[in-house]
Structure 1
């Protein structure tokens, strides 16, 4: 999806539907589309702040102005990438509200660490498990565990409206990057299937437009990942290859600045195929087992 023309409506509080408002952070990039979308969920009297976004003064000021005198029941995060959770600490302090939602991220791996993009200062007062809820006057927000993009990723269902807030698991402009060692392709596909089994009316992602045909999109996303998997197996069946050789062959026309992100998802596929015994590696060289 191409970027819409500027100016983007950063700092503007948009009424999306009853119980839902949205404010765009000024952090647009090739990796975040027009920026991170923070959602105010609830009423003018009582609400939660979902994905408070980056620690950017203009964005935090816009959130504080939009919240006004409402009681903030909680500041809620889908996951702890630095474009999603750093402002939680500031809003929690300003409104004397707890930080509730995903767990803090702890990577247990011997692989090179990939947590530089994560918010190391995130400290939740309460961690939600799958099916746990936060309630207010006339609204209920329920956590849906969706690991894959990150191991701590949660989506949230607004029970009264049929809306699902999908963070980075399902986005309105691009497929999600799955970056090992924390990102896991098998978990990501299982989480997509979990959402496919649900009957949510609409998805509100952290980046990009709302998704009005969610099951159709999720089905296409699962098919896209299986297509990438088959593409990898075809390339390796021709000859053993190293990752930097595979990315430009798989992503025709992709800007080189995005090769590292694409390479992370290819690595996630390779690790999943290795776990299933379909590929093996010798140093940096990958090949099929058949």
Structure 2
């Protein structure tokens, strides 16, 4: 999906449904679409803020204005990339709210990253595990463990509404980058299967528009990843190759500045195939085992 023309609703409060509002941060990029979308769940008697985004004073002020005098039950984070969690600490300090959500993660990565680097300063007051909940007046959010994009990724289900906040696990504009060593393709696929088994009405991703056909989209995402796997095996069946040789063949028509991101997902596929005994690595070269 192409990035829509400006102006974008940066800093504006958008009411999506009775319990859900959205505020867009001014951090648009080829990897964040129009920017990180922070969601405000609840009402005047108490609310939660999901993915407060980067440390950006204008965005923090916009969130404070949207919150008004309502008490904040929790500042919640789906994962700890720098376009999602760094705003949690200053927002918590200004409001007195606890930081609740994914586990902390500080990981040194090798090679270029196309997604945002990890927030090493993230320090939650409470870590949520699968099925644990945060509640306020008239609403309850349930954590779903969805590792893959990152090992600590969570989605949050707004009980009784059919709404699911998907962070970067499912986005409304692009496929998700799975970047080793922390990103794991087998985990990502299992997490997609987990969402496919649910009956959510709407996904609210951190980037891109709301998704009104979740099952159809997730089914397509699973199929897309399986096709990528078949494509890798077909190319390696012709000759042993390095990731840098596979990417131009697999991503024809994709701008070259996006190839580093593609290379990460290809590597994640190869790591998964290697664990399953389908491919083997010799140095930087990969080949099939049959």
**TM class, shorter-chain normalised?**
over 0.9
Structure-1 separation of matches of 2:273 and 2:147: 18
Q: What residue is the counterpart of 1:93 in the other structure? A: 93
Structure-2 separation of matches of 1:150 and 1:186: 12
Q: Where has structure 1 moved over 6 Å in runs of 4 or more?
A: 113-116
Structure-2 separation of matches of 1:26 and 1:127: 28
Q: What residue is the counterpart of 1:112 in the other structure? A: 110
Q: 1:122 Cα shift?
A: 0.2
2:69 counterpart of 1:73: no
Q: Which runs of 5+ in 2 are unaligned?
A: none
2:151 counterpart of 1:151: yes
Where do residues 1-290 of structure 1 align in structure 2 (5 Å cutoff)? 1-107=1-107, 112=110, 117-290=117-290
Q: CA RMSD in A?
A: 1.3
Q: After superposition, what is the alpha-carbon deviation per residue over 1:180-199, rounded to whole angstroms, capped at 9, x for unaligned?
A: 00000000000000000011
Structure-1 separation of matches of 2:86 and 2:80: 8
Q: After superposition, what is the alpha-carbon deviation per residue over 1:73-120, rounded to whole angstroms, capped at 9, x for unaligned?
A: 00000000000000000010000010000000144x9x7387970001
**TM-score normalised by structure 2 residue count:** 0.97
Q: After superposition, what is the alpha-carbon deviation per residue over 1:124-159, rounded to whole angstroms, capped at 9, x for unaligned?
A: 000000000000111000000000000000000000
Structure-1 separation of matches of 2:78 and 2:110: 24
Q: 1:274 Cα shift?
A: 0.4
Structure-2 separation of matches of 1:248 and 1:209: 29
Q: Which runs of 5+ in 1 are unaligned?
A: none
Q: Secondary structure, in 3 states, of the residue corresponding to 2:223?
A: helix
Q: 1:52 Cα shift?
A: 0.2
Cα gap change, 1:106 to 1:119, in 2 (>3 Å): closer
Q: Secondary structure, in 3 states, of the residue corresponding to 2:48?
A: strand
**TM-score normalised by structure 1 residue count:** 0.97
